[in-house]
Amino acid sequence: MSFSTDVKDELLAIDDMSDCCIQAQSYGMLLFARSFSVSSVSFATENTATSERYSQYICDIIGTPPEKSDNDSKMNILSVRTSAERRAVLDYFGHSPKDFALRINRANISGECCFGAFLRGVFLACGSISSPEKNYHLEFVVPFMKLSGDLFSFLEEMGLSPKKVIRKGYHVIYFKDSENIEDLLTAMGATNSTILLINVKINKDIRNHINRRVNFETANIDRAVKAGMAQAEAIKKIAKQKGLDSLPDNLRETALVRLENPEATLSELEELMEGKVSRSGINHRLNRIMKIAEEL
Question: What CA–CA distance (Å, rounded) separates 6 from 11?
Answer: 9
Is residue 133 located within the same domain as residue 223? no
| Mean pLDDT, 10 residues at a time, the chain of 296 residues | 91 92 95 91 90 93 88 81 94 89 92 93 96 93 94 95 94 95 95 93 86 84 84 86 86 85 84 85 88 85
The tally of CA atoms less than 13 A away on the side-chain side of residue 196 is 15
> 44 with 84, same domain?
yes
Task: State the pLDDT at residue 150.
Answer: 96
Q: Does one domain contain both 216 and 162?
A: no
Do 64 and 21 share a domain, yes or no? yes
For residue 201, tell me if it sits in a domain.
no
pLDDT at 209: 83
What's the distance, Cα to Cα, between the start and end of the chain in Å? 71
* 147 and 220 part of one domain: no
pLDDT reported for residue 72: 63
Q: Is the Cα dihedral 179, 181, 182, 186 positive or negative? A: positive
Name the domain count of the chain: 2
Asked if 126 and 40 sit in the same domain, the reply is: yes
CA distance 174 to 6: 19
The verdict on 254 and 126 lying in the same domain is no
Residue 202 maps to a domain: no
Predicted pLDDT of residue 94:
93
Q: Report which of 246, 258, 247, 249 is spatially closest to residue 282, judged by C-alpha positions.
A: 258
Overall pTM > 0.95: no
Burial 92-127 (b: 16+ CB within 10 A, else e): bbebeeeeeebebeeebbeeeebbbbbbbbbbbbbb
- Domain CATH number, residue 56: 3.10.28.10
Residues 126 and 236 grouped into a single domain: no
Based on the fold, state whether residues 168 and 212 are members of the same structural domain: no
List Cα–Cα distances, 66 to 131, 159, 189, in angstroms.
32, 36, 27
Residues 6+ apart with CB under 8 A from 122: 28, 29, 31, 32, 140, 151
- Asked whether residue 14 falls in the same domain as residue 108, the answer is yes
Q: In what order do the strands lie in the sheet with 138-142?
A: 127-129, 138-142, 170-175, 163-167
User: By the 8 A CB rule, do 187 and 181 touch?
Assistant: no
Q: Rounded distance, CA 249 to CA 251, Å?
A: 6
- Number of alpha carbons in the 13 Å side-chain half-sphere of residue 124: 35
Specify the pLDDT at position 230.
Answer: 87
Q: Is residue 87 part of a domain?
A: yes
Q: Is 200 contained in some domain?
A: no
Of 56, 54, 36, 57, give the one whose Cα is nearest residue 45. Answer: 54
Q: What one-letter code names the amino acid at 17? A: M
| Position 203 in a domain | no
* pLDDT value of position 259: 83
In a domain, 197, yes or no: no
Domain that holds residue 282: 208-295
Residue 196 inside a domain? The answer is no
For residue 176, which of 120, 228, 116, 130 has the smallest C-alpha distance?
A: 130
Please check whether residue 80 lies inside any domain of the structure: yes
Residues 147 and 183 in one domain: yes
CA-CA distance, 282 to 251, in Å (whole number)?
A: 9
Statement to judge: residues 111 and 229 lie in one domain = no
